[in-house]
Amino acid sequence: MNSGKILVELSQVSVRIGDAYILSNIDWVFRSGENWAILGHNGAGKTTFLSLVRGDIWPAPRCGRRLYHVNGEPQFGPIGFHEKTGSVSSDLLDRYRANGWNLTGLEVVCTGFNRTAFLYEKPTDSMLNSAQEVLTMLNLEELSDRRILTMSFGEAKKVLIARALVHQPDILFIDEFCAGLDARSKDRALNLIQLVAEQGTQIICAAHNVEEVPDAITNLLTLESGRIIACGPMAKRSVSTNTGPVKDTEHACEKTNTPKLEHTTGGAPLIEIEKVDMVVGGSCIVKRIDWTVKNGENWALLGPNGSGKTTLLKLIVGEERPVWGGVIRRFGKDDLQTIDEIRQRISLVTPDFQADHMLRQTALEMVLSGFYGSVGLPHEPTEEQILTAQSWFKKLGIQSIENRQVCALSYGQIRMLLIIRALVTNPRLLILDEPTTGLDRKAKNDVWEAVNQVIEEGTSVIYVTHDHMEIWPFISHVAILRNGRMIFKGERKQWENSVFSISQDTE
């Protein structure tokens, strides 16, 4: 039995967001010397639980009691506790993107001293030196002068980890911090968190399963639909602590009776890229790319964080232009097409979109906006559009969130909505940029079953990931980026027989 001092105690606490209870009747005690992992599927309430404990949100009125023990005295508010904490979450990254706060990596780390998202005053030399030391410790020196809005999702996540550590917090809150990191970066991050814990910082982290948490974790709490279904010391739990069914992601499509598709390579070109370079902030991010994607082909685009994958996608969808001399043809056309013309044929899902859609709207309304390529609904949708959107909710088994407010949904649930939003228009080319970030294993399988359906109807896919275990059966071709260069491209069988198929970081 833990004899540490009580730091936080929750007694029959519930949390309500909008018209929905996200947490219900929570009883929990957090003591000194403990490191907790909060487990559960998408929508279980993990992120809300972390926010509740840290003091970012309040319990629902007349729904239980939350007490902080600061300097031996109990109090209702988090003052004196919150200041001693650090936090790593994808929600913070969304705020930078939504508000256009294009700080350098070093400036973002400096915001950690005052635990604000924006840098409201010029940092002192001492702050700058400490921030640079943390970046150096994490081998992130190259991101010090880079602007966060030009970084890949994984690069930005690493900077946020440095931000959380810069003021040496007593307690570190981590929300799905491994999401979006390649294998090497994930191992480094886990090792770093382990080191931080060994030096005395307590850890409270949220994850889908126990394999995603540091070794320093001493206690596990599992949530399901906002309620605690299991709670206790780590030693009393088995290694497999996922709630619900678990599948091997490498072969999940085959286990769900989805046929491995046969592909032809003689289709008409959808995307033709010739001698393309792309410069961002004075640095050449994409270098001399030659690549053709044909109708009927489904590509996996692999590469570690910062290799140029997201930048290449922005070129394809017309958000960026190549350096003079490079050529991009879409659907056989040489002329420059407008963004609207491109979006009628190409649908893109990327983590960058998540912050844009955090509006006062229902899940159904968010999906319906995909018909217009807009953020929010510009006008009343047709009955046919509503029925099409609702059919996708049913296919993925998430009808229960159809009328929920987006602001009351989990990060993973919103990611699912982005994917459905891209699918409703039945695009000729579907581009998925790290689409399973924030999704549990069951949700991943549901998504890939949906993607298989649109492939069978004639849509081609470019699927971007750093995880070689997610080369699903529908993938026919593989391309690999490293340091902005395409070091491999070819049919799936060629990749499987090459050295690249066993190299997680493609180095």
DSSP for 384-396?
HHHHHHHHHHHHT
Residue 468 neighbours by CB distance under 10 Å: 21
Structure-token pair, residue 63:
């729904």
| pLDDT for the residue 244 | 35
| pLDDT for the residue 125 | 94
Is the pLDDT higher at 259 or at 150?
Answer: 150
Structure-token pair, residue 142:
């190259």
Considering 243-257, 283-297, 336-350, 458-472, the range whose residues carry the highest mean pLDDT is 283-297
Is the pLDDT higher at 321 or at 292?
Answer: 292
Alpha helices in 344-469 (DSSP H): 363-368, 383-395, 411-423, 441-456
Q: How confident is the model at residue 235 (pLDDT cuts 50, 70, 90)?
A: low
Q: Measuring CA to CA, which residue among 406, 255, 425 is closest to residue 340?
A: 425
Q: Measuring CA to CA, which residue among 174, 49, 56, 163 is closest to residue 115?
A: 163
Percent of the chain topping pLDDT 90: 44
Q: How confident is the model at residue 359 (pLDDT cuts 50, 70, 90)?
A: confident
| pLDDT for the residue 249 | 37
What residues form DSSP beta bridges with 23?
A: 15
Whole-angstrom distance, CA of residue 466 vs CA of residue 504: 8
| pLDDT for the residue 397 | 83
pLDDT mean over 227-245: 63
pLDDT mean over 314-338: 81
**Is pLDDT at 245 greater than 90 in this prediction?**
no
| pLDDT for the residue 337 | 64
**Is pLDDT at 443 greater than 90 in this prediction?**
no
Q: Where are the beta strands (DSSP E) in 265-423?
A: 269-280, 283-294, 298-302, 327-330, 346-349
Structure-token pair, residue 71:
């300097």
pLDDT digits (tens, 9 = 90+) for 119-141: 888 999 999 999 999 999 888 89
Asked if 363 and 409 count as a contact pair (C-beta separation under 8 A), the reply is yes
C-alpha 55: how far from chain center: 23
For the ranges 410-424, 439-453, 461-475, the lowest mean pLDDT is seen at 439-453
Whole-angstrom distance, CA of residue 378 vs CA of residue 467: 37
**Is pLDDT at 75 greater than 80 in this prediction?**
yes
| pLDDT for the residue 24 | 96
Q: Measuring CA to CA, which residue among 73, 146, 72, 77 is closest to residue 109?
A: 146
Whole-angstrom distance, CA of residue 35 vs CA of residue 233: 10
Domain coordinates in residue numbering, the chain? 6-236, 356-425
Percent of the chain topping pLDDT 70: 91
User: Has this prediction a pTM greater than 0.85?
Assistant: no
6-236 under CATH 3.40.50.300, yes or no: yes
Asked if 430 and 422 count as a contact pair (C-beta separation under 8 A), the reply is yes
Structure-token pair, residue 212:
């995603």
**Is pLDDT at 243 greater than 60 in this prediction?**
no
**Is pLDDT at 253 greater than 90 in this prediction?**
no
Q: Measuring CA to CA, which residue among 78, 404, 24, 455 is closest to residue 253?
A: 455
Whole-angstrom distance, CA of residue 356 vs CA of residue 378: 15
Q: Residue 5: is it exposed, middle or buried by C-beta count within 10 angstroms (0-12/13-18/19+)?
A: exposed
**Is pLDDT at 334 greater than 70 in this prediction?**
no
**Is pLDDT at 501 greater than 90 in this prediction?**
no
Q: How confident is the model at residue 503 (pLDDT cuts 50, 70, 90)?
A: low
**Is pLDDT at 67 greater than 50 in this prediction?**
yes
The helix (H) or strand (E) run that includes residue 220 is strand 219-224
Place of tokens 């003689």: 266
- Measured CA distances, 188 to 125, 158, 204, 247, 326 (Å): 28, 10, 18, 26, 37
Q: Measuring CA to CA, which residue among 141, 121, 120, 122 is closest to residue 132?
A: 141
**Is pLDDT at 240 greater than 70 in this prediction?**
no
Structure-token pair, residue 390:
């609702």
pLDDT digits (tens, 9 = 90+) for 182-195: 777 778 778 878 88
Alpha helices in 396-501 (DSSP H): 411-423, 441-456, 492-496
pLDDT digits (tens, 9 = 90+) for 43-57: 899 999 999 999 999
| pLDDT for the residue 257 | 43
Region of 123 please: left (phi>0), alpha (psi -120 to 50) or beta: beta
Q: Measuring CA to CA, which residue among 51, 40, 86, 87 is closest to residue 210?
A: 40
| pLDDT for the residue 238 | 44
pLDDT digits (tens, 9 = 90+) for 83-121: 999 988 877 887 887 788 889 999 999 999 988 888 888
Q: Measuring CA to CA, which residue among 289, 301, 292 is closest to residue 329?
A: 292
**Side by side, which strands form the sheet with 327-330?**
283-294, 269-280, 327-330
Whole-angstrom distance, CA of residue 192 vs CA of residue 181: 14
| pLDDT for the residue 66 | 97
